C-alpha cells in the first residue's frame, strides 16, 4: 500500500515535534447553553504539531469545545485564535472536523471523495481519489452508495474525505467509538500517518488505551475547565490533577 496518498505538498519525516502549521490560542473561552455554563473560562495554547488528545468524562464539554474551535459554535465569552486571528472562511478550509457519527452524501463512496475535492482543477484528481480509497481500505467499495456502508467503513470514508484536501489541522471527535477493531486500526493508522506528515491533530477519545497509543500530549477537561495539559507520558505515569487521577483509575464513569 503506498504510504503517501494525498499529502503531496509535504514530505514524510520521522516523528519530530515542530511548530504547528496553525497555532491555536484560546483565551477566557466560555460557553453557556441557556443559563447552564458548559465551558467556564478556558485558556489553552497549542503551538506544536504534537498530537493532542483531549480527554475527560462524559459531559465535560469536549464536543462543544471542538465545535467552538472549528467555528461551528460562537463563544459566549472569550476568543479562539488560529494563526493569531479569528477563524476566517479561508482558515477554516485548512481544518477538518470528523464527527463521531459520519455525515455522508447520498452518493457513492468515490463521489463523496470527489465532491470533497470540489470543482477546482486538480491535475492528479483521479490519482488522489484512488490513493484515498486505497488508504482507507475502500477501493473495492468505490461505487457503493456511502449510506449502505458499515459504521466502520463510513468512518474510514469520513476520515479519508477529511484528509483529501491536505488540511493543516485535523480534529476528531471520538472517531472510533463503537467501531470494530479492524476499522479502529485503519483509523488509528491513518491518524498516525497524518501526524507524520505534519498535520496538527486534536483527537477526542474516552478510550485510555487509544490515548496511550496516539497521544503526545494530553489536555484533560473536567467540568468545563482544563484540569491539566501535560506531555502524554507524564499524564499517564502521574497525572497531577485529582480529576485525571480519578478518571484514569476508573473512579469517574466514562
Is residue 58 close enough to count as binding ligand ADP by CB under 6 A? yes
Is residue 206 close enough to count as binding Mg ion by CB under 5 A? no
Instruction: Determine the Cα–Cα distance for residues 110 and 141; give it in Å rounded to an integer.
Output: 8
Residues 6 or more apart whose Cβ sits within 8 Å of residue 24 = 44, 45, 46, 47, 69, 80, 81, 82, 169, 200
Whole-number minimum distance, CB 22 to Mg ion, in Å? 22
Q: How far apart are the first and last CA of the chain?
A: 36
Whole-number minimum distance, CB 21 to ligand ADP, in Å? 25
Is residue 74 close enough to count as binding ligand ADP by CB under 6 A? no
Is residue 38 close enough to count as binding ligand ADP by CB under 6 A? yes
Whole-number minimum distance, CB 61 to ligand ADP, in Å? 4
Check: CB of residue 105 under 8 Å from CB of residue 146: yes
Q: Tell me the β-bridge partners of 201.
A: 170
Whole-number minimum distance, CB 44 to ligand ADP, in Å? 15
Binding-site member from 13, 59, 233, 242 for ligand ADP (CB under 6 A): 59
Contact segment (CB under 6 A) with ligand ADP among 15-23, 59-67, 71-79, 132-140 equals 59-67
Is residue 63 close enough to count as binding ligand ADP by CB under 6 A? yes
Q: Report the site for Mg ion in 43-82 (rule: CB under 5 A).
A: 62-63
How many helices (DSSP H) and strands (DSSP E) are in the chain? Answer: 9, 9
Site string for ligand ADP, 119-148 (x = CB under 6 A): ------------------------------
Instruction: Determine the Cα–Cα distance for residues 236 and 163; give it in Å rounded to an integer.
Output: 29
Interface size with ligand ADP, residues (CB under 6 A): 10
The stretches of 36-108 forming alpha helices (DSSP H) are 62-69, 89-93
Is residue 175 close enough to count as binding ligand ADP by CB under 6 A? no
Instruction: Determine the Cα–Cα distance for residues 156 and 154; give it in Å rounded to an integer.
Output: 5
Instruction: Determine the Cα–Cα distance for residues 10 and 28; give it in Å rounded to an integer.
Output: 34
In the complex with ligand ADP, which residue's Cβ is closer, 56 or 152?
Answer: 56
27, three cell numbers: 483565551
Q: For residue 198, which of 5, 8, 66, 20 has the smallest C-alpha distance?
A: 20
In the complex with Mg ion, which residue's Cβ is closer, 62 or 195?
Answer: 62
Residues that bind Mg ion in the complex, under the rule CB under 5 A: 62-63
Where does this chain bind ligand ADP (CB under 6 A)? Answer: 33, 38, 56, 58-64
Amino acid at each position: 500500500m503506498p504510504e503517501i496518498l494525498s499529502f503531496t505538498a509535504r514530505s514524510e519525516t520521522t516523528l519530530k515535534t515542530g511548530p504547528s502549521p496553525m497555532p491555536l490560542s484560546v483565551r477566557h473561552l466560555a460557553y453557556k447553553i441557556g443559563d447552564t455554563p458548559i465551558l467556564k473560562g478556558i485558556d489553552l495554547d497549542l503551538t506544536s504539531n504534537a498530537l493532542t488528545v483531549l480527554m475527560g468524562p462524559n459531559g465535560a464539554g469536549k464536543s462543544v469545545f471542538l465545535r467552538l474551535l472549528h467555528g461551528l459554535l460562537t463563544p459566549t465569552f472569550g476568543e479562539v485564535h488560529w494563526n493569531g486571528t479569528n477563524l476566517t472562511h479561508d482558515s477554516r478550509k485548512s481544518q477538518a472536523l470528523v464527527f463521531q457519527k459520519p455525515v455522508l452524501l447520498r452518493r457513492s463512496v468515490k463521489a463523496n471523495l470527489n465532491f470533497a475535492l470540489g470543482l477546482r482543477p486538480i491535475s492528479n484528481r483521479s490519482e488522489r481519489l484512488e490513493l484515498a480509497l486505497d488508504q482507507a481500505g475502500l477501493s473495492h467499495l468505490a461505487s457503493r452508495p456511502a449510506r449502505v456502508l458499515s459504521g466502520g467503513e463510513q468512518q474510514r470514508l469520513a476520515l479519508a474525505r477529511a484528509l483529501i484536501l491536505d488540511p493543516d489541522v485535523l480534529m476528531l471527535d471520538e472517531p472510533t467509538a463503537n467501531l470494530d477493531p479492524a476499522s479502529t486500526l485503519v483509523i488509528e493508522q491513518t491518524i498516525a500517518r497524518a501526524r507524520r506528515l505534519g498535520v496538527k491533530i486534536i483527537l477526542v477519545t474516552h478510550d485510555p488505551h487509544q490515548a496511550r497509543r496516539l497521544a503526545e500530549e494530553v489536555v484533560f477537561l473536567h467540568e468545563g475547565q482544563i484540569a491539566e495539559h501535560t506531555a502524554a507520558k507524564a499524564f499517564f505515569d502521574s497525572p497531577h490533577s485529582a480529576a485525571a487521577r480519578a478518571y484514569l483509575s476508573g473512579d469517574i464513569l466514562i
